Amino acid sequence: MVFNKNSMVEIIAEQTGCTKKLAKLAADQLIEQMSETLINGDNVELANFGKFETVIKNERNVNNVYTKEIIKIPAKRYLKFKASLNLKNAIKNKD
């Protein structure tokens, strides 16, 4: 089973008793706010789930093993997720 945005909308609608349209709006707003926060370089922490953060990997030099040429790799930002201890334990203890 894959959990996607449509699944989230259906679950929100069922568990809260709201319409799917309202649940979709809530899901869209949640995703938009999380995305904007990460784009701005801030972290998103969700209790009992995990932490999303943007990390900067510094510029570095590497050697091309074939030509022995030194190549400069520019700095870049990437997204990192760290699961909470509660989530890790729940997954480990499943079954």
Please write the tens of the pLDDT for every residue from 8-44. 999 999 999 999 999 999 999 999 999 999 999 999 9
Q: How far apart are the first and last CA of the chain?
A: 17
Indicate the pTM of the whole model: 0.77
Looking at residue 95, what is its pLDDT?
75
Please write the tens of the pLDDT for every residue from 34-51. 999 999 999 999 999 999
Rounded to whole angstroms, how far apart are CA atoms 21 and 3? 18
Residue 82, number of CB atoms within 10 A of its CB: 13
Q: Is the pLDDT of residue 1 over 90?
A: no
